[in-house]
Structure 1
Amino acid sequence: MAEPKSSKLSHYDLWCRWKEEGDTEAKKGLIEKYIPLVDYVSSRMAAGLPKNVSKDDLVSNGSMGLIDAIEKFDHLRGLQFETYASWRIRGSIIDGLRQGDWVPRSVRDKAKKMEDAYAVLEQRNLRSATDEEICSYLNITDKEFQQMLQEVAVATVGSLEEPIREEDAETRMSLLVDDKAQSPESKVHETYLKDSLTAGIDKLTPKERTVVSLFYYEDLSLSEIAEVMSLSPSRISQLHSKAILRLRGALGKHKDQLLQK
């Protein structure tokens, strides 16, 4: 049986036929070439989610993200599609999870309390808040604090890919990809957000910073990070949760200013 014509074309040829000629067969060829990305990203995200979350649902939502990425990607800008697509796939999966309300309200409330605690204490003391300070602020024991971290871990997966605003599809991480020309207003948003994220990252502990770097930039799974850092997966999950709560707390206090700009 003869191979489909699209499978014999190079990636660049497929991009040219799809973007410049609107060749739907070329688009199908691109989807076939990059569909393994969906399974890869879905598998990584599934590792940190409750068992009741279906992997098939993640793949389905991720596939929509891949198609969206192929439609919006500019092949002439010299960017790496795999990186761009991975962010779009994650964002689509997270959007599907949020619509499905997969995190119990009680867990969201606990995550918000911890997020606010980090924001208040770190703004007040101008340094990273310790576990003991968080416990004192929330009036809980260290054991209760560790339990809360375990519970909110599922609510912090992919937090950097969540939309900046409820009505906007633009995510914090997607701002790092210049996939199209920006208006002056968008540029202000980008610069402001990057400055806020940088300030937040500076307040992370060394271990938290390492986890964020390995997870979001080196694309390692939490279990792989555990091996690299010689720590247990549960400890890595806690470090990830605390890092994201700190970052969300730092960004939260700037939310009103960001929306006004």
Structure 2
Amino acid sequence: MIHQKPNARSNDELWQEWKLERRHEAKQALIESYVPLVEYVASRMAVNLPKSVSKEDLIGFGAMGLIDAVDKFDYKRGLQFETYASWRIRGAIIDGLRQNDWVPRSVREKARRVEEAYQKLEQQRMRSVTDEEMAAYLNMKESEFRQVLQEISFASLCSFDDPIKDEESETRLSLMVDEKAKNPEYTVNELFLKETLAKAIDKLTEKERTVVSLFYYEELSLSEIAEVMSLSPSRISQLHSKAILRLRGALGRLKPQLMEGS
């Protein structure tokens, strides 16, 4: 539970002063009241990132996401600002990590190869493929394939926040969040995407579905999930990588249709 800093005026009053009267002191007060949310999101993400990544850097990136969230949030829609801001903060942190190239190009290339392999094999066979089948397709030993999954775990964590369409900000991950009152022009595509994502999740193995649920819905860290599932952190990392690459593959097949409909 995130506790905001106490403020003499209620947040409802501050939102009205900022959005209706454009009082910048109200905007600053809102930002200051939600700073703990930035620290919370950064701390949760830091657990799953390499030790070389500074938590202070994450907080700095996340602060930009909070400012963006305060600018763009429509308090009249009845949404929880904490939920909206959390995804903006997370997205800003991911963007900051990408811009600073925390993921080596070689790792990104491995992630792309595995994603394409999942997409092709599972489309051909109309089912989830095994590690053995993936390793054979990629011309490597099964142990080597698992090592690759371990190496690309950070890349797969970031890549699920990539835009569905290159020129827009809607991400695959945003489809996993329950949001209300979307703009009408997004309704048809969004329903189609959510249906496809739901079917893709159903095709994951039981362990992969559990990891996705605990990580994205319950917001547990990978190490916490390892404790819950009585598996090693490296095994959880592999399961997460496989699940996300499979989901990316399933949604990636829709990209040409989305581009045609845009």
Q: Distance in 2 between matches of 1:130 and 1:57?
A: 38
1:37 aligned residue:
37
| Alpha-carbon distance in 2 for matches of 1:182, 1:70 | 19
Q: Is the aligned partner of 1:123 residue 2:109?
A: no
Tell me the CA shift for residue 180 of structure 1.
6.2
Query: Structure 1: how far apart are the matches of 2:112 and 2:260?
Result: 22
Distance in 1 of aligned mates of 2:126 and 2:151: 27
CA contact (8 A) 1:214 1:220 kept: yes
Q: Distance in 2 between matches of 1:191 and 1:129?
A: 27
Q: Could you tell me which amino acid in structure 1 is paired with residue 160 of structure 2?
A: L
Unaligned runs of 5+ in 2: 1-5
Q: Does structure 2 retain, via aligned residues, the 8 Å contact 1:91–1:162?
A: no
Matches within 5 A, 1:210-229: 210-229=210-229
> Could you tell me how far 1:104 is from its partner in structure 2?
1.1
CA distance, structure 2, for counterparts of residue 13 and residue 173 of structure 1: 32
- Map of 1:176-255 to 2, 5 A cutoff? 176=177, 178=179, 181-184=182-185, 186-255=186-255
Q: Within 5 Å, give how 1:66-145 maps onto structure 2.
A: 66-145=66-145
Output the CA distance in 1 between the equivalents of 2:96 and 2:21. Answer: 32
- 1:225–1:236: 8 Å Cα contact kept in structure 2? yes
Shifted more, 148-157 versus 90-99: the winner is 90-99
User: Is the 8 Å Cα contact of residues 31 and 67 (structure 2) preserved in structure 1?
Assistant: yes
CA apart distance, 1:195:
2.2
Secondary structure of the corresponding residue to residue 164 of structure 2? coil
The letter of the residue matching 1:182 is N
Deviations 1:94-121 (A, max 9, x none): 1122222221111111111111111111
Instruction: Specify the alignment match of 2:23 in structure 1.
Output: 23
1:166-210 Cα shifts (integer Å, max 9, x gaps): 3322222335464765142x2233123212212211111111111
Describe the SS at the equivalent of 1:76. Answer: helix
> What does the per-residue CA deviation read over 1:46-83, in whole Å, with 9 as the maximum and x for residues that have no partner?
22222332322211111111111111111122211111
**Structure 1 segments unaligned to the other structure (5+ residues):** 1-5
Match of 2:149 in 1: 149
Distance 1:162 1:29 in 2: 31
TM-aligned CA deviation for residue 237 of structure 1: 1.0
User: What's 1:61 paired with?
Assistant: 61
Amino acid at match of 1:198: A
Q: Which amino acid aligns with 2:69?
A: A
In structure 1, distance between residues paired with 2:243 and 2:182 = 31
Amino acid at match of 1:157: L
Instruction: Please provide the CA RMSD for this pair.
Output: 1.8
Letter in 1 for 2:112: K
Counterpart-to-counterpart distance in 2, 1:43 and 1:77 = 29
Checking the alignment, whether the CA contact within 8 Å between 2:38 and 2:63 is kept in structure 1 is yes
Size of the alignment, in residue pairs? 255
- Tell me the SS of whatever aligns to 1:21: coil
Q: Deviations over 1:226-261 (max 9, x none)?
A: 122122211111111110011111112222112211
> C-alpha distance in 1, partners of 2:30/2:178?
20
